[in-house]
Structure 1
Amino acid sequence: MQIDLTGKTAVVTGSTAGIGYAIALGLAQSNARVVVNGRTPSRVDEAVRRLRDEVDPSLVSGVAADLGSASGCAALFEAEPLADILVNNLGVYGLEDFFDTSDETWLRFFEVNVMAGVRMSRFYLPKMIERGWGRVIFLSSESGLNIPADMIHYGVTKTADLALSRGLAKRVAGTGVTVNAVLPGPTLSEGVWVMLQAEQSKSGRPIEEVAAGFVKAHRPSSIIGRAATAEEVANLVVYVASPLSSATTGAALRVDGGVVDTIA
């Protein structure tokens, strides 16, 4: 199976590190022109530099913009007015008890995890429809189905992403544009590494073993019994972004290691 995205432009939000960076790399390796996004110019420049070391440099550019606000989205739209592939990867997460979670935190999570995807899709989808081809992919989470008690606010936003992707798929039916959600489970990205760093330093065990212990303790339904890699998540996203996935739309595609205990 050959995935060739030559001539396609992909915008990947929140792509300076972690899953987003792995997605950007995978798309560029398939010959898409990739637009990297992050909040700060220094992080965007560094991600662009790293990517250009691995792929054709002409395929990679970057836009620094805080997409957790309407003005930040507008800055990205001005810099990149067209996209064939939109990956709504941007997201924030964090442990916090429901009774300690303020209105400000709820609203910030909703702005970043949901409204950024709303604004990005509202801008890019009509142009995809005009051209008769496009891919929109939301990075949801297994937490959108299996709401974690220690970060309910996060789970709620990821459930919203599922609803948004399904509704948009129906809205653009028959246009040649597909909309899907990808649901990672525990993934050994930079953010998770930071969360586990104290335990890794204390035990001296490899970070992969520490992450596997975390999965077994906190996500015992995991079938693979370990954290996925960012590349494993990116592999699914690249396929969904390709012409080969033309019969897949409105789907919630899990790359969660089997954490969600259902056959549906």
Structure 2
Amino acid sequence: MHIDLTGKRAVVTGSTAGIGYAIAKGLAAAGASVVITGRSKERVDQALAALSRDVSNANATGVAVDLGTADGCQKLIERVTDADILVNNVGTFEPSDFFATDDDTWQRFFDVNVMSAVRLSRHYAKEMRERDWGRIEFISSESALNIPTEMVHYGMTKAAVQSVSRGLAKVLTGTNVTVNAILPGPTRSESVKKMMEEQAQEACISVAEAEKRFIDDNRPSSIIHRLADPEEVANLCVYVASEQASATTGAALRVEGGIVDTMA
């Protein structure tokens, strides 16, 4: 299978590192022009420089903006008025005891993880519907189905994202605009690597052992029994953005190593 996205413009939110950057890189390698977003110009510039090294002849631009706010989403829309592919990847996570998680934290997680995707999809989906072609992806998580007790607030947002994805797919019934949710499992992103390094240091063990202990303790049902690499998630996202995935819509597509112990 040869995926060719030449002539398509892709907006990938939260794409200066980790899964988001891997998706941007994969889309650029398939020929799409890519818009990278991040909260700081420094991080965006670093990602663009990395992309130019990783993908020969990459066509990429960047926008520094805080998508956790309505104003930030509007600024991105004003800078990039149209897109063929939208990957709603931006998100935040952190372990927090349920009884210690205050209202402001719940609201912040909802604004970043859910409302950024709602606001951007509301804009870009209209243009896609008018052209009768588009791809929208919501990066959810296995935590949407397997709610972690240490991050109930995070799991809630990922379940909400999955619901929005399914609903929007139905809104666009009969068009050639597909909408899907992608459900990664624990992935070796920048933030997860940092967490593993901190746990390794605290326990005086190697990072590899910390990763193994994390899977054993927190995701024992994993079939691959390891963290995924960002590129493994990105591979699925690139396919879903392609013409070849034209009959895949309204789906929750798992790339979580078999953690969720159901077949449906």
Q: Report the TM-score, using the length of structure 2 for normalisation.
A: 0.97
- For residues 191-235 of structure 1, what are the alpha-carbon distances to aligned partners after superposition, in whole Å with 9 as ceiling and x for unaligned? 111101134345453x34432331122100000000000000000
Query: 1:36 is matched with which residue?
Result: 36
Query: 1:22 is matched with which residue?
Result: 22
The residue type paired with residue 103 of structure 1 is D
Query: 2:100 is matched with which residue?
Result: 100
Q: Could you tell me how far apart the structure 2 residues matched to 1:39 and 1:183 are?
A: 24
Stretches (4+) displaced over 6 A:
none
- Kept after mapping to 1: 8 A contact 2:29/2:58: no
- Kept after mapping to 2: 8 A contact 1:208/1:227: no
- For residues 79-123 of structure 1, what are the alpha-carbon distances to aligned partners after superposition, in whole Å with 9 as ceiling and x for unaligned? 110100000000000101111111100100000000000000001
Gaps of 5+ in 1: none
Query: 1:86 is matched with which residue?
Result: 86
Gaps of 5+ in 2: none
- Kept after mapping to 2: 8 A contact 1:188/1:211: no
Mapping of residues 216-235 of structure 1, within 5 Å: 216-235=216-235
- For residues 50-91 of structure 1, what are the alpha-carbon distances to aligned partners after superposition, in whole Å with 9 as ceiling and x for unaligned? 101122455111000100011101111111101000000000
Q: Could you tell me how far apart the structure 1 residues matched to 2:204 and 2:244 are?
A: 45
- Kept after mapping to 1: 8 A contact 2:144/2:155: yes
Query: 1:263 is matched with which residue?
Result: 263
Q: Could you tell me how far apart the structure 2 residues matched to 1:9 and 1:208 are?
A: 38
Query: 2:77 is matched with which residue?
Result: 77
State the secondary structure of the residue aligned to 1:138: strand
The residue type paired with residue 154 of structure 1 is Y
The residue type paired with residue 143 of structure 2 is S
Q: Report the TM-score, using the length of structure 1 for normalisation.
A: 0.97
Q: Could you tell me how far apart the structure 2 residues matched to 1:150 and 1:200 are?
A: 19
Query: 1:146 is matched with which residue?
Result: 146
Mapping of residues 105-254 of structure 1, within 5 Å: 105-201=105-201, 203=204, 205=206, 207-254=207-254
State the secondary structure of the residue aligned to 1:121: helix
Distance 1:226 1:172, change over 3 A: same
State the secondary structure of the residue aligned to 1:151: helix
Q: Could you tell me how far apart the structure 2 residues matched to 1:241 and 1:226 are?
A: 26
- Kept after mapping to 2: 8 A contact 1:14/1:90: yes
State the secondary structure of the residue aligned to 1:150: helix
- Kept after mapping to 2: 8 A contact 1:162/1:252: yes
- For residues 161-198 of structure 1, what are the alpha-carbon distances to aligned partners after superposition, in whole Å with 9 as ceiling and x for unaligned? 01000000000011100000000001111111110113
Greater shift, 223-232 or 48-57, is seen at 48-57
- Kept after mapping to 1: 8 A contact 2:51/2:58: no
Q: Could you tell me how far apart the structure 2 residues matched to 1:58 and 1:80 are?
A: 18
Q: What is the RMSD computed on CA atoms of the aligned residues?
A: 1.1
Q: Could you tell me how far apart the structure 2 residues matched to 1:25 and 1:145 are?
A: 28
Q: Could you tell me how far apart the structure 1 residues matched to 2:230 and 2:253 are?
A: 15
Distance 1:245 1:208, change over 3 A: farther
State the secondary structure of the residue aligned to 2:150: coil
Q: Could you tell me how far apart the structure 1 residues matched to 2:47 and 2:196 are?
A: 23
